[in-house]
Structure 1
Amino acid sequence: MPHIPRSAAVSTLVATALAAGLLAATTSSASADQVRVHDIQGTTRLSPLAGQQVSDVRGIVTGVRGYGSKGFWIQDTAPDDDRATSEGVFVYTSSTPTVKPGDAVRVSGTVTEYVPGGAASGNQSLTQITKPTVTVESSGNALPAPVAIGARSVPAAYAPKGDPAAGNSVNGLPLKPRSYALDLYESLEGMNVTVGSARVVGATDPYNELWVTVKPHESSTRRGGALYGSYDSQNTGRLQIQQLAPVSEQPFPKADVGDTLTGATEGPLDFNQFGGYTLTARELGKVVPQGKGKGLQRERTRPQRAGELAVATYNVENLDPGDPQSKFDALASGVVTNLATPDIVALEEIQDDNGAKNDGTVSAAATLKKFTDAIVAAGGPRYAWRSVDPENNKDGGEPGGNIRQVFLFNPERVSFTDRAAGDATTPTGVVRVGKRAALTHSPGRIAPADSAWTNSRKPLAGEFSFRGKPVIVVANHFASKGGDESLTSHHQPPVRSSETQRVRQAEAVNSFVQEVREAQRDADVLVVGDINDFEFSATTKALEKGGALRAGIKTLPRAERYSYVFQGNSQVLDQILVSPGVGRFRYDSVHVNAEFAEQNSDHDPQVVRFRP
């Protein structure tokens, strides 16, 4: 495949850009007789003209964005015959553009490579023309015919392996749009593209964007999503959809997973920080709900039987008394109706009594009273609770919010075994009492001084009794994936830097469970919570090490293994793992939030039922 060589000087500029996020201009200039859009884009991810001044680059305006990153796209109507070179490019104006679609323009300016989010993000860069001088030659011209992106055109492989000599970066590799999905999208960067009717795999979010797949049968879940089942199944057909019209002029449609964006959606293909390749729609299709127009329904799990203990985990997304009563009521209804009133509910992201106000408050009593009152109002039992208040601003999360894990339990069915309740800095241990394992502090925190928990939530351990039989539950909220590179990173495979801390956290919890099992081999131990990692991850493997635990979600059919939807991928973050002593159990991932535009949390709760 033809490859436009880059000089050592340009390579130096590229290195500078990746350090600063934006390539600096040089004093060199390219002749208008030589430069067309495809010359600017080149056959790799980085322009061979990066840092150079270009003059009178011709094209038809295909889209105008007057908000956010302001500018417009142009496309050359005289393409070359190289599939690797895009014929479109973004012109960054910084102020509201005065051109409109259909204008034939000449643009002079500086070719730059802009890295959305900065170099530390690992994101690919967007080739653009900055500090432009624009001349409109005519208006009302026909737009270039859009390139159709569909199941047949998008390759099955996601991305090439990065060049080891360049730190596993793909930036310098020749694009192979017939071989790799990311190479195809890069070869269309800035061009007018279209997708036909496509299934929604990521619900409309608060930022007025959604995700579709152009591959109807790729990793489909029973409810219409796209399952992320391994690090090698990135789901190549996913594409983010935004619109060019501001929502004040054209409301963005509300769509749930499994709905269909019907008709043609057409506009320039952009690259941004929060989704990678994005179709910025000049023309947007219509959303048709699934299920004969009834739309996706929120799941309900079955109630536990008389002899079954039901244990659930639910991330309630920074819940604090300042949240509207409607959020408390919706979450409470979810516990009562959708989760069928579990005996024990481990909550994650319970904030302190004044939320994000950073004044040293750490108690969450008001938050928990408001929530348990809402559960009673929804027809549920009067749950009791146990927790350990954290040290102020020591557990990560929103500054001042002091999120923590909390046990709710239904005293009509289960009792809590209080043993010298621990505090934020006192670890709980394991002792043998008679023939059974017991905690030295219940509730108590696991190894809070261990550096694995720096700026992260410490696990909360508690003893319960169900029909006279002891059960130990460990509620967790592992370190987030913040800082990990996206699937569209210029590093392939992407760097998952946050995984190191989660693996250490998993090792600490695994060691604790092993201690319990050394004291009582057949102890019933459940490790529950927002693990912030996949069922196939090194984190989960560290939790399961030595047979101490088994990830319950792996007992579900593969197409039902998810609790969260991120960038159109249905994936696992929330888990319940059980010790061998638990024996037979029934697991359910209850899909009530992650697939919906209207969410009470961005996580789906998990529940396990068994007979202690």
Structure 2
Amino acid sequence: MFSARQVLGSMVGLTAAVAGIGAVAIPTARAATAAEAVAIADIQGTGTTSPLVGQTVTTSGIVTAAYPSGGFFGFYLQTPGTGGSLDLGSHDASDAVFVYQPRSAGAVTVKPGDAVTVTGAVTEYVGLTEVSVPAATDIVTDGTGTIEPVVSQWPATDAQRESLEGMLFAPQGDVTVSNTYGVENFGELGLAHGDHPLLQPTEVARPGSAEAEAVRADNAARGIVLDDGSSTTLRPPTSRTIPYVSNTAPVVVGAPVDFRGPVIFSEGGSPSAPTYRLQPTQVATADPASWPADFGNVRSDAPDERKIGRRADLKIASFNVLNYFTTLGDADDDNVGDGGCTAYKDRSGDGNSVSGGCDQRGAWDPADFGRQQAKIVSAINALDADVVGLMEIENSARLGETPDEATNSLVAALNAAAGRKLWTANPSSAELPDASGADVITNAIIYKRAAVRRIGEARALGDQSGDDQAFGNAREPIGQVFKPADGGAPFLFVVNHFKSKGSAGPWPGDGDTGDGQGASNESRVRQATALVSWVSSIRAETGVTDVALAGDFNSYTQEDPMQVLYEAGFADSETLSGNEEYSYSFSGLSGSLDHVLLNRHAQRRFTGSDIWGINSGESVLLEYSRYNYTGADLHTDSPYRSSDHDPVVVGLTRTAG
């Protein structure tokens, strides 16, 4: 855990505009002797570190932001007459600096607009140039003034960003939320200049290609952190409240950002990986009124029917249910784990979700399960699909429970919420291998009997589950042939959950090569190949011409496993629709691991698709697993953050058009 100063990714700024101060004359650039008067630009220099590090200097400027609380212990100082319209092609040295005033030097009493002269040692801290003052007497307020915020093109290179370090800055053009994950620990939001978030390179370009490298370069040029003006580590569980997370003013990936005023362009973060960032001019708290920007509300109550298509007679969907386990970590709700289970605990020491020690992976106790189930039920019913493929649901047979117990439990809850017997669970296939060797999570299918009818028995690719076979390290694909209840052509619906990217499988090509596809790429290629072969055999056996593959393929759209499916004649629904939506957010980059693919014949029935953005872009603090993790009660029974993956919905006509 970083100390308050180490997380300095938080230093901030306020508003101001140009005036002289007439205090200490500031000479032109030259080496400083002890306590010599030096211009701020000469302290900063044109490199990444100050040329005067270790020297004692005197400098003057106008205070643009001061932090009497929040752990920054200091203020930003900018040279009078600087700022305004700048050409970053010729502006090579910042005219602002952070003045570090440690506790031993007394409380920060200067205010934005004060004209101040300071004397202290030049230091570098987490990428930020500072003047560190040893005593309050080394800070002299001798007037007032204003500073005009910098107005310029977006600083896309490190050199341009370094030239703005510490300066009052007014962002220009579109800015979009790209990452909400850092809010939980450090009060940080990831932003992207432009009208869309940063993208996974292999979502839009082939791995290792020049196009993928261009996406990486674009991410580097557009990305920036919005900090909270505080160096306080917020890592939950904590009694503190967290900025940039709210149910009444949601901050979601993809939301447009409208700055209310200028901010400080700064640097900070982890000592091992400092980043350029924007600091608000006052500490941002849980109160949206304290935030430096307004965020557009991009939430929706349901999938977009216009994207799915008004002609759709049926809707099929993919939904990852985030380890929905009815076998709990502590079934008796006494905070004592069952079967060796250990818990992630809230700020009261009560378990929320299982952290390890047992086969269970979901909710800790009945109260936690109730919160998890309420969100999932709300989401699936609002999804309004007719056939839904589920991933990460408990493999009840593997845990010694009645087969399909978890799926049946979810269906019962869905029907109770709907007020009628709307949903039915498709039974597990007899083609699955013995559950004793299976994963503790599995795939499942639920459907509306009023919309579709089953044809034949449930199917599964159950003969490739050995350690030396394609699905030895992944969940077996399951399938069912359905036909529209009101008449129409049948279709084979297959649910998939390929091997994850996080660990290497047994095959020679499973190591992470650094091309963006992560670990176990060969495993996923083998799984895609086996899937194509199995689906072909079912088509030949049943005569069904239309096939939909749904699920979490753990592969972004342009990666190798997806190419196997494309070459077999399948097309991704989002590619067909051209919506440019994404189902997953990781490390501040958006992409789709979740897909619904249609074979050539089924594409003739396609009316449109939508990725319903209720999960991946939302703060993790809204999950059931983060209940009572902060000083604010953020839980609701709404769909938002019911999982970490967004559902994909596809519209189909009854027959091929």
Alignment partner, residue 281 of structure 1: 280
Alignment partner, residue 9 of structure 1: none
Q: CA deviation at 1:351?
A: 6.0
Distance verdict in 2 for CA 1:602–1:541, change over 3 Å: closer
Alignment partner, residue 298 of structure 1: 301
Partners of 1:237 and 1:607 in 2: how far apart?
30
Alignment partner, residue 319 of structure 2: 314
Distance verdict in 2 for CA 1:219–1:204, change over 3 Å: closer
Task: Work out whether 1:408 is the aligned partner of 2:453.
Answer: no
Q: CA deviation at 1:590?
A: 3.4
SS in 2 for 1:408: strand
Contact 1:255 1:287 in 2 (8 A): no
Alignment partner, residue 586 of structure 1: 607
The 5-angstrom pairing of residues 357-376 of structure 1 reads: 368-376=407-415
Q: CA deviation at 1:279?
A: 1.2
Alignment partner, residue 604 of structure 1: 646
- Give the one of 360, 376, 386 matched to 1:342: 386
AA in 2 matched with 1:463: G
Distance verdict in 2 for CA 1:418–1:202, change over 3 Å: same
Structure 2: tracts of 5 or more residues without a match:
1-6, 9-30, 206-211, 235-239, 283-290, 325-361, 484-488, 505-512, 620-639
Q: CA deviation at 1:556?
A: 1.4
Alignment partner, residue 79 of structure 2: 77
Q: CA deviation at 1:600?
A: 2.6
SS in 1 for 2:477: strand
- Cα shift readout 1:178-223 (whole Å, capped 9, x = no counterpart): xx355433332333323379665358665354455664xx4599xx
Output the aligned Cα RMSD.
5.2
Alignment partner, residue 509 of structure 2: none
Distance verdict in 2 for CA 1:195–1:55, change over 3 Å: same
Alignment partner, residue 549 of structure 2: 527
Alignment partner, residue 173 of structure 1: none
- Cα shift readout 1:318-370 (whole Å, capped 9, x = no counterpart): 44344353442232122122x21332x223344689xxxxxx96979675455
Higher mean C-alpha deviation, range 383-392 or range 278-287 = 383-392
Contact 1:210 1:242 in 2 (8 A): yes
Partners of 1:309 and 1:473 in 2: how far apart?
16
Contact 1:69 1:94 in 2 (8 A): no
Partners of 2:265 and 2:310 in 1: how far apart?
55
- Give the one of 580, 592, 598 matched to 1:572: 592
Contact 1:200 1:260 in 2 (8 A): yes
Partners of 1:53 and 1:587 in 2: how far apart?
63
Distance verdict in 2 for CA 1:197–1:30, change over 3 Å: same
Identical aligned residues as a percent: 18
Q: CA deviation at 1:605?
A: 0.7
AA in 1 matched with 2:264: G
- Cα shift readout 1:54-108 (whole Å, capped 9, x = no counterpart): 3336466655668998554544527799623334455778989843554643332
The 5-angstrom pairing of residues 230-245 of structure 1 reads: 231=212, 232=214, 234=218, 239-244=224-229
Q: CA deviation at 1:449?
A: 2.8
AA in 1 matched with 2:517: E
Distance verdict in 2 for CA 1:182–1:410, change over 3 Å: farther
Q: CA deviation at 1:374?
A: 2.4
AA in 2 matched with 1:378: A
Q: CA deviation at 1:461?
A: 0.9
Q: CA deviation at 1:132?
A: 7.4
- Give the one of 460, 463, 476 matched to 2:497: 476
Structure 1: tracts of 5 or more residues without a match:
1-20, 23-28, 115-125, 155-176, 222-227, 354-359, 396-401, 420-438, 484-494
Distance verdict in 2 for CA 1:545–1:237, change over 3 Å: closer
The 5-angstrom pairing of residues 196-275 of structure 1 reads: 200-202=176-178, 206-207=183-184, 208-210=187-189, 215=194, 218=195, 231=212, 232=214, 234=218, 239-244=224-229, 252=244, 254-256=249-251, 257-258=254-255, 261-272=258-269
SS in 1 for 2:467: coil
Contact 1:63 1:100 in 2 (8 A): no
Contact 2:263 2:281 in 1 (8 A): yes
SS in 1 for 2:479: strand
- Cα shift readout 1:377-433 (whole Å, capped 9, x = no counterpart): 2214143464989999998xxxxxx655444345663448667xxxxxxxxxxxxxx
TM-score, length basis structure 2:
0.58
Distance verdict in 2 for CA 1:192–1:557, change over 3 Å: same
Contact 1:198 1:260 in 2 (8 A): yes
Alignment partner, residue 108 of structure 1: 121
Partners of 1:336 and 1:545 in 2: how far apart?
31
Task: Work out whether 1:189 is the aligned partner of 2:165.
Answer: yes
Distance verdict in 2 for CA 1:286–1:38, change over 3 Å: closer
Partners of 2:179 and 2:457 in 1: how far apart?
43
Partners of 1:39 and 1:71 in 2: how far apart?
23
Distance verdict in 2 for CA 1:459–1:289, change over 3 Å: same
Partners of 2:499 and 2:69 in 1: how far apart?
36
Distance verdict in 2 for CA 1:267–1:580, change over 3 Å: same
The 5-angstrom pairing of residues 61-76 of structure 1 reads: 62-63=64-65, 70=72, 72=74, 74-76=76-78
Contact 2:175 2:256 in 1 (8 A): yes
SS in 2 for 1:501: coil
Q: CA deviation at 1:372?
A: 2.7
